[in-house]
Structure 1
Amino acid sequence: MATTESDVLDVERIREDFPILQREFDGTQLVYLDNAATSQTPDQVVDAIAHYYRHTNANVHRGLHQLSQEASIAYEEAHDRVADFIGAEGREEVVFTKNTTESMNTVAYAWGLAELGPGDEIVMTEMEHHAALVTWQQIAKKTGAEVKYIPVDEEGYLDMDAARDLITDDTKMVSVVHVSNTLGTINPVSELADIAHDHGAYIFVDGAQSVPHMPVDVQDIDADFFAFSGHKMCGPTGIGVLYGKEHILEEMEPYLYGGMMISKVTFEDSTWHELPWKFEAGTPVIAQGIALAEAIDYLEDIGMENVRRHGEQLAEYAYDRLQEFDGIDVYGPPGDDRSALVSFNLDSVHAHDTSEILNEFAVAIRAGDHCTQPLHDKLGAPASARASFYLYNTREEVDKLVEALEATEDLFA
């Protein structure tokens, strides 16, 4: 694609694929900066969903008729497409769930309840999303395991010296977010994987904020488990991915039971289907999986390295513009060392008020604790405002954000 102000993407051309970005509110065009919560969906992905329902709609792996055969092939090929996208060895390592949270819970219940007990340790970070923190916290309560947290320093980085001390031979699972959805920090997950493996522990990487924004190879990371969601990467809601190394998934027992995931059932016992189907009980996310494959095609046509550079450039530009305010707290690493989001608070203005006023300017951001309440407690902020960027955002939209924040500041002066 041709280059623009970002020196990477033809953003104006890309925006044509997202009609929702042309919406106006009271005559003002939408500025959508809430992509860390959910991205917008291009026409190509919407068309893929519609095509499935109009031409191929049938249940998979259950019928010998033509529609079922076509749907089954498309659904299986979607697993292959995801496996290729993240560097997995094959579809056996790719389980479709409904979101990152379900992927976390699948491992926590299928592996954690069976393998953890008193004396075992789970190590997380202070910047974990509730999807990980709450899940492993509750599993620890059920099993008697202990949870430890790698500290976050004042700049928003992990204290890696503390990580080396906290991860011990008693550690069984290290669960770490790849990119913080509050700080924008890109964590050294490969280094953490090495530390975990040196102590015989597994590592689970939460990739909800990384896979949409940068090239990811789970084998390069050496992740044992990895999870992400389709709706943050131009795909539909209702589809998540759990990657797991094949030998680990083979050893794990499923925790959802029913149709699709069985091999043989008698009145006395049951055996399970081959991977990945043994973890996909019931009618699966067929249309969503097919649409996720289309979203991956869309992103790879643009180039994930280009997506990464564009998002990081916007985040750095926004970080620099926000420094123009005298009374502002911007959280996380410097602008040139973060992913595609910036969280902040104007002095004496609650984040919810900031979001409400920005909405009057048709600027959509997120306000709240972003499912990281313990991290916000550490930051000394009950909530923060967050602007998050994607491949269709522009510097002009960052400028509109700043203009709206100036008006907010004036209102509360």
Structure 2
Amino acid sequence: MIDASAIRNEFPILDQQVNDEPLVYLDNAATTQKPQAVLDVLNAYYHKDNANVHRGVHTLAERATHAYEAAREKVRAFIHANETAEVLFTRGTTTGLNWVARSYGDAFVKEGDEIVISYMEHHSNIIPWQQLATRKKATLKYIALTDEGTLDMNDAKKQITNKTAIVALAHASNVLGIINPIKELGELAHNHGAVLVVDGAQSTPHMAIDVQALNCDFFAFSGHKMCGPTGIGVLYGKRALLEQMEPIEFGGEMIDFVELYQSTWKELPWKFEAGTPNIAGAIALGAAVDYLTDLGLDAIHEYEAELVHYVLPKLQAIEGLTIYGPQDPDKRTGVIAFNLDGLHPHDVATALDMEGIAVRAGHHCAQPLLTYLNVPATARASFYFYNTKADCDRLVEAIQATKEFFQHGTI
């Protein structure tokens, strides 16, 4: 059971005032805060074990290497990959998706093939496929959405054909708060001979992930959205596919033997990890995995659902507030995008910031989705397990006060 009031004391950054008000941090879909346990591990590495990995035989190098590879094993267990060879450390979700597009895509997508994505994708899961389609003269196709913003599975069955080489979809939307039926989509893709690439940036921090049960071929996520540091992420790939792929970055660490005119690569996973990796980031990501595992991903998911059930009806009761995505709290995550009639989202976010409440405003790196919704931007509140019902009340009260101020000039 999650006790958010106690847990928030483990996050030093939350104990501060912003604009003379206690901070309410509701921008968790952009990045999450870090518990002291993760900060301590990061600090300890630089104070005691700072050395390069895989290269040295001295004690510090051996300690750093052990901690780095131990973190890989923690991630493997966390996402239920079959083996650590399938866990590649990256800079984040964006890097992972680009690696798949550049390595797998360039090798296996042919002229006339199809790449299928959806209108709800983050730019990181759009632009790599746009570029791949251009390079290979392939066709990029989009799965439509239903009126409430969920993926239209009937349209998915039309868009995914025997010409489809890649299906790339978000597990959870960073705007609409929707969880997509990845396993069903994977079966659809595989029945047509396509591979399934999953953007797991918005799901991995909030629910238990089993890549084998999902039967996805690739799965990418970021550390900074799950209590870990920035600049570290993971790409999972099935060994059979990774073995067929060439690295796209070359240099130290990833080589087996270098001759004057040719070189050979290390075995998985290291053949993809050129140069000195983000050692501290990987080790601290391992600490974040420990932290989330101790809390329990099912407990986190249930608690966030409880928050949504509490706050969504209160937001829906505000006249002139439009909420995007499903209106049923059972059908959404803790991401709630909204607009107030007559106000630009940036003005709303600025007004909320004056009350100490941090939300995101803009296109959320999802411009095709907002175009599809026929809005230029939205404000977005996104919750995590250290948020409380008191935070929810502060948000609702601040939105109501913002509405009153812009309508009548008083609070």
TM-score interval (norm. to shorter):
over 0.9
Q: Which amino acid is 2:95 matched to?
A: E
Q: Distance between the aligned counterparts of 2:19 and 2:183, measured in 1?
A: 48
Matched, 1:106 2:95: no
Matched, 1:74 2:67: yes
Q: 1:42 aligns with which of 35, 40, 47?
A: 35
SS where residue 10 of structure 2 aligns? coil
Q: Which amino acid is 1:218 matched to?
A: V
Percentage of pairs with the same residue: 51
The structural deviation recorded for 1:316 is: 2.7
Q: Which residue of 1 aligns with 2:188?
A: 195
1:26/1:168 Cα in 2 relative to 1: closer, same or farther (>3 Å)?
Answer: closer
Q: Which residue of 2 aligns with 1:360?
A: 354
Q: Which residue of 2 aligns with 1:21?
A: 14
Matched, 1:57 2:50: yes
Gaps of 5+ in 1: 1-7
Q: Which amino acid is 1:305 matched to?
A: D
Describe the superposition over 1:179-219 as per-residue Cα deviations: whole angstroms up to 9, x where unpaired: 00000000000000000000110000100000000001000
The structural deviation recorded for 1:26 is: 3.8
SS where residue 387 of structure 1 aligns? strand
Q: Answer with 22-31 or 159-168: which moved more.
A: 22-31
Q: Distance between the aligned counterparts of 1:40 and 1:350, measured in 2?
A: 27
Alignment of 1:13-412 (within 5 A): 13-333=6-326, 334-412=328-406
Q: Which amino acid is 2:331 matched to?
A: D
Q: In 2, are the aligned partners of 1:236 and 1:291 still within 8 Å (CA)?
A: yes
Q: Which amino acid is 1:63 matched to?
A: G
Q: Distance between the aligned counterparts of 1:382 and 1:19, measured in 2?
A: 35
Q: Distance between the aligned counterparts of 1:34 and 1:80, measured in 2?
A: 29
Q: In 2, are the aligned partners of 1:369 and 1:382 still within 8 Å (CA)?
A: yes
Q: Which residue of 2 aligns with 1:3?
A: none
Q: In 1, are the aligned partners of 2:19 and 2:353 still within 8 Å (CA)?
A: no
Q: How many residues align?
A: 406
The structural deviation recorded for 1:400 is: 0.5
SS where residue 169 of structure 1 aligns? coil
TM-score normalized by structure 1? Answer: 0.97
Q: In 1, are the aligned partners of 2:20 and 2:356 still within 8 Å (CA)?
A: no
Q: Which amino acid is 2:75 matched to?
A: V
Describe the superposition over 1:64-123 as per-residue Cα deviations: whole angstroms up to 9, x where unpaired: 111111111111111111000001011100000011000001111111112112110000
The structural deviation recorded for 1:27 is: 2.9
Q: In 2, are the aligned partners of 1:318 and 1:342 still within 8 Å (CA)?
A: no
Two-structure CA RMSD over aligned residues (Å): 0.8
The structural deviation recorded for 1:403 is: 0.8
Q: In 1, are the aligned partners of 2:71 and 2:286 still within 8 Å (CA)?
A: yes
Q: Distance between the aligned counterparts of 2:293 and 2:73, measured in 1?
A: 15
Q: Which amino acid is 2:55 matched to?
A: R
Q: In 1, are the aligned partners of 2:334 and 2:383 still within 8 Å (CA)?
A: yes
Q: In 2, are the aligned partners of 1:95 and 1:242 still within 8 Å (CA)?
A: yes
Q: In 1, are the aligned partners of 2:72 and 2:84 still within 8 Å (CA)?
A: yes
SS where residue 16 of structure 1 aligns? helix
TM-score normalized by structure 2? Answer: 0.98
